[in-house]
């Protein structure tokens, strides 16, 4: 359940973002633009690898991607090295396409910011934490990435952000079924 806004938008991805070379897991060689599916790519910016909500989001996206062939292709971003990503995704989603963004270039260029104390530890975050625990997810001991950085989700078609979810706290995941699917 989401209390923040999820909305259609129409904003072009900047050329420096599209032309940036990427490294990661299960990617084609090249730039971010080379990873995009014209029918739609869901850019998902994860928090740190120790985050319960990061783990929940990966599991939810793996499940829905496997169950719904029309769901947009998922492209994950994480704040670590390729090797750290390989270790994190090995048991969670080995087939995941994921970009290592240790310098947080993509996070910054897409406007993701650090959360406040209230966002990170307020009542809504605690309620979402209990939801994630109920699904069998736990907080990891190894924090890889900035623990204050908020997540982000953007649907891109033809190099345009056509839909996004504005998080009000880190566990405020969108209703994945409300994301516009391929036509």
CATH of the domain at 26: 3.40.30.10
Q: Is residue 179, in this structure, part of any structural domain at all? A: no
| Greater model confidence, 28 or 146 | 28
Nearest to 164 by CA among 148, 146, 147, 180: 180
Q: Please say whether the dihedral angle defined by the alpha carbons of residues 128, 182, 23 and 13, taken in this order, is positive or negative.
A: negative
| Greater model confidence, 179 or 73 | 73
Q: Is residue 87, in this structure, part of any structural domain at all? A: yes
What local confidence, expressed as pLDDT, does residue 91 receive?
92
Q: Is residue 46, in this structure, part of any structural domain at all? A: yes
Q: Is residue 60, in this structure, part of any structural domain at all? A: yes
Q: Is residue 99, in this structure, part of any structural domain at all? A: yes
Q: Is residue 182, in this structure, part of any structural domain at all? A: no
What local confidence, expressed as pLDDT, does residue 179 receive?
86
- pTM for the full predicted model: 0.85
DSSP conformation letters of 75-109:
EEEESS-HHHHHHHHHHH-TT--EEE-TT-HHHHH
Q: Is residue 180, in this structure, part of any structural domain at all? A: no
Report whether pLDDT(52) > 60.
Answer: yes
pLDDT digit string, tens, across residues 116-152: 778 767 667 656 565 666 776 666 667 778 888 889 9
pLDDT digit string, tens, across residues 153-172: 999 999 999 999 887 766 77
Could you tell me the residue range of the domain that residue 107 belongs to?
6-171
For the packed helices 123-134 and 52-67, what is the interaxial angle rounded to 10 degrees? Answer: 50
Report the number of distinct structural domains present in the chain. 1
pLDDT digit string, tens, across residues 70-126: 999 999 999 999 999 999 999 999 999 999 999 999 999 999 988 777 876 766 765
């Amino acid at each position: 359940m989401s209390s923040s806004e999820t909305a259609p938008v129409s904003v072009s991805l900047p050329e420096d973002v599209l032309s940036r070379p990427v490294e990661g897991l299960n990617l084609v060689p090249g730039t971010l633009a080379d990873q995009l599916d014209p029918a739609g790519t869901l850019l998902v910016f994860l928090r740190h690898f120790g985050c319960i909500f990061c783990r929940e989001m990966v599991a939810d996206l793996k499940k829905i991607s496997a169950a719904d062939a029309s769901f947009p292709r998922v492209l994950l971003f994480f704040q670590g090295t390729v090797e750290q990503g390989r270790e994190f995704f090995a048991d969670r989603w080995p087939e995941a396409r994921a970009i290592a963004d240790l310098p947080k270039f993509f996070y910054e260029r897409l406007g993701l910011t650090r959360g406040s104390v209230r966002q990170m530890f307020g009542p809504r975050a605690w309620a979402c934490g209990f939801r994630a625990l109920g699904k069998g997810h736990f907080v990891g001991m190894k924090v890889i990435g900035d623990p204050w950085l908020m997540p982000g989700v953007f649907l891109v078609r033809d190099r345009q952000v056509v839909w996004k979810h504005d998080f009000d706290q880190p566990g405020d995941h969108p209703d994945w079924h409300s994301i516009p699917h391929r036509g």
